[in-house]
Structure 1
Amino acid sequence: MTSTSEAVDATQLGVGTWVIDPVHSSISFSVRHLLVAKVRGMFETFSGAVVVADDGTPSVTAEIAVNSINTRNDRRDAHLTSADYFDAEKYPTATFTSTGVRADGDKYAIDGDFTLKGVTKPVTLDLEFNGVIRVMDYGEVAGFEASVVLNRKDFGIDLALPFDTGSKIVSDKVGDKATITLEIEALKQA
């Protein structure tokens, strides 16, 4: 019996271009709703790549189609893509471009510029590199998990709907504990 996959050095991402496989990747988020629950969603259309230079220095780029948001509620999704929130007609994509990658204990931190709704801010993603595997007829596949904290007000999304108590319907930060989660598989290009 022939093995269909084999492990590759899990501590090193090889030189070259690694393209995000959207079929086996996800970008998801959660946001507080009415201060007592969470609404979860995802972006269904995105692309990106990790490029490892000959000297081993990695760089990351990514693009998200903002109108691909899916919270399992068409009415809410239409509102989120409207000018009240993402203004997807005027700003159809969100982008990330790394400015550096550094070790952070047994994980990594990716510093970069994130642009949403025409506003660019520096952000840091916490990254876990899950290793590389070579799959017959598929090539080398790398796995990553990343998370980032974003405050929506930093990107010009400042719709507050106050209650009589003075609290807000939507919290100021996006995500469970203000976290957006990325589960990424990337394929090495020949």
Structure 2
Amino acid sequence: MRAAFLAFALIATPVLAQAPANIPSGTYAVDTGHTQVLFTVMHLGISEYTGQFTQPTGSLTLDTAHPANSKVEVTFPIAKVSTTVPALDAHLKTADFFDAAKFPDGKFVSTKVVVNGTNATITGDLTLKGVTKPVVLQAHFTGGGPHPMTKKPNVGFSATTVVKRSDFGVSYGIPMISDDVKLTINAAFAQQ
């Protein structure tokens, strides 16, 4: 089994590590099973704690000739929040935090893309708990090329930003749990 995985990795790595210019323009869908929306907070001023919203959806419109025309949208279901503590997962879904019953989705929608080599600054609107605020993601192209099994073009990016959760009406536990939250989107997209 290990030998088969290593052989696959050796074959796939050169294919998936192409430069962004070799990725075709078009419409791509979020690969739900290989995309993560992560959040990291400081807990009690002692340790960082990370959770995630699983099963995000969304799309990428990629224009390689005119990168500024590219657009990205990622939606993540609040009820799919996941940490290492089931009781915390349940609490995060309540009105103390994200209020999943009233606000079932979080969403990022880009409004401007500026590309610099394999990096991009993506300005957009983040909506959480019914509040929309502008944020700026610092994104990095992580790889792309034809998927080894489907042969469809795939592309991956990692993007980060820091937001104040209190700006979105999520103030429970401050300052024991930091107001500053690092958001990371590790996204894989498959061409449609």
Q: Normalising to structure 1: TM-score of the pair?
A: 0.84
Is 1:10–1:130's contact at 8 Å kept on the other side of the alignment? no
Partner of residue 75 from structure 1, selected from 65, 87, 112: 87
Shift of 1:39: 2.0
Partner of residue 45 from structure 1, selected from 55, 66, 79: 55
Most deviating of 77-86 and 3-12: 3-12
Is 2:155–2:188's contact at 8 Å kept on the other side of the alignment? yes
Between the aligned partners of 1:16 and 1:88, the Cα distance in structure 2 is 33
Distance 1:154-1:16 versus aligned 2 partners, 3 A rule: same
Aligned length: 177
Task: Show structure 1 runs of 5+ residues with no match.
Answer: 162-167
Match of 1:90 in 2: 102
1:152 aligns with 2:165: yes
Match of 2:3 in 1: none
**Local SS of the residue matching 1:77:** helix
Partner of residue 173 from structure 1, selected from 166, 180, 183: 180
Distance 1:129-1:29 versus aligned 2 partners, 3 A rule: same
1:110 aligns with 2:131: no
Match of 1:11 in 2: 20
What percentage of aligned pairs have identical amino acids?
33
Between the aligned partners of 1:49 and 1:173, the Cα distance in structure 2 is 27
1:31 aligns with 2:41: yes
Partner of residue 188 from structure 1, selected from 164, 169, 191: 191
1:140 aligns with 2:147: no
Most deviating of 97-106 and 55-64: 97-106
Residues 5-48 of structure 1: per-residue CA shift (max 9 Å, x gap): 73685233422111111212222222111111222211112111
Between the aligned partners of 2:103 and 2:95, the Cα distance in structure 1 is 9
Residues 78-123 of structure 1: per-residue CA shift (max 9 Å, x gap): 1111001101110000011110100357511000011000000000
Is 2:28–2:59's contact at 8 Å kept on the other side of the alignment? yes
Is 2:33–2:55's contact at 8 Å kept on the other side of the alignment? no
Q: Which has the higher helix share?
A: 2
Between the aligned partners of 1:39 and 1:65, the Cα distance in structure 2 is 20
Is 2:35–2:56's contact at 8 Å kept on the other side of the alignment? no
Is 2:24–2:64's contact at 8 Å kept on the other side of the alignment? no
Is 1:27–1:43's contact at 8 Å kept on the other side of the alignment? yes
Residues 42-77 of structure 1: per-residue CA shift (max 9 Å, x gap): 111211110135963211111000111111111111
Most deviating of 142-151 and 32-41: 32-41
**Local SS of the residue matching 2:61:** strand
Is 1:26–1:42's contact at 8 Å kept on the other side of the alignment? yes
Distance 1:124-1:132 versus aligned 2 partners, 3 A rule: same
Q: Normalising to structure 2: TM-score of the pair?
A: 0.83
Distance 1:172-1:6 versus aligned 2 partners, 3 A rule: closer
Match of 1:126 in 2: 138
